[in-house]
Chain A
Amino acid sequence: QKEVEQNSGPLSVPEGAIASLNCTYSDRGSQSFFWYRQYSGKSPELIMSIYSNGDKEDGRFTAQLNKASQYVSLLIRDSQPSDSATYLCAVKDDNAGNMLTFGGGTRLMVKP
C-alpha cells in the first residue's frame, strides 16, 4: 500500500522565520509531487508542484525533492500569520493511475 507520511504538528514558528515542512513516501514509482495548503473548513489549494530532483522556487515557497531518499519538503520563507494552515503533501505515480495519494498533513502555526 502506498504511503505518504507527514508529521501532524502543530509546527509553530514566529512571524518572519522559515517554516520547514517534510514528507516521505513509500512508492518508488512516484513521479509527480505536490504541496497543497488547506485552511480550516476549506478545500485544498495547490501551492507547488515538483517533478525532478532538486529545488524549485516560487516566491516565498521552495519545494525540494530527493527521489533517492523518497523525500520531499516545502520551505516557506518570511512566514506570515496568513500562512497558518494545514499543508498536505501529495504524490502521483503516473504509471498507476492519475489519483493523488495524500499525507495526513502538517498543521503550521505562524505566531505574530
Chain B
Amino acid sequence: GAGVSQSPRYKVAKRGQDVALRCDPISGHVSLFWYQQALGQGPEFLTYFQNEAQLDKSGLPSDRFFAERPEGSVSTLKIQRTQQEDSAVYLCASSWQETQYFGPGTRLLVL
C-alpha cells in the first residue's frame, strides 16, 4: 500500500516568502506528526494531530509556523515570512498504535 507522501520534495524560498508544505498520511492513520530535521541532526518534534484536532504544538519554534489538518487526513504546515534558520528537512509521520511511519520529507532552503 501507499506510504506517507509529502510535497513538494524540494522548495527554495526567498527570505520573507510564505511556504506551504503538504503531507498525505497513510490511509486510516489517526495520528499525524510534523518534525524538523536540520542537517546532521536528529528530527525534532513540531506538532501532533489526532484526527483533525491539534493536540500538541509545543515544538513549533515561533508564531510564524502554523499547521492544520481540517478533515483529519491531509495536513499542511505553513511557514510565514521564512528566515534562513528555517532551512531544514520537514518530515511528516503518521501512526497507528505505536509505530510512526515517515514520509520522504520536504527539503526547504531559504535564501
Contacts and interface: CB of A to CB of B under 8 A. Distances in A.
Contact of B98 (A4, A43, A49, A102): A49
A46 B99 contact: yes
B31 A98 contact: yes
A44 B91 contact: yes
Contacts of B43: 44, 88, 100, 102
Given A32-B98, A102-B42, A102-B43, A97 B48 contact: yes
Interface residues of B, number: 24
Nearest to B103: A43
Given A98-B31, A99-B59, A43 B45 contact: no
B71 to A, nearest CB: 20
A45 interface: yes
A44 B44 CA distance: 13
A32 B97 CA distance: 12
Given A99-B56, A104-B41, A44 B48 contact: no
Interface of A: 4, 6, 8, 32, 36, 42-46, 49, 88, 90, 97-105
Interface of B: 31, 33, 35, 40-45, 48, 55-56, 58-59, 91, 95, 98-105
14 contacts: A8-B40, A43-B91, A43-B102, A43-B103, A46-B101, A88-B42, A97-B56, A98-B48, A99-B59, A100-B33, A100-B45, A102-B43, A104-B41, A105-B42
Given A32-B98, A90-B42, 11 more contacts: A43-B102, A46-B101, A97-B56, A98-B31, A98-B48, A100-B33, A100-B43, A102-B42, A102-B44, A104-B40, A104-B41
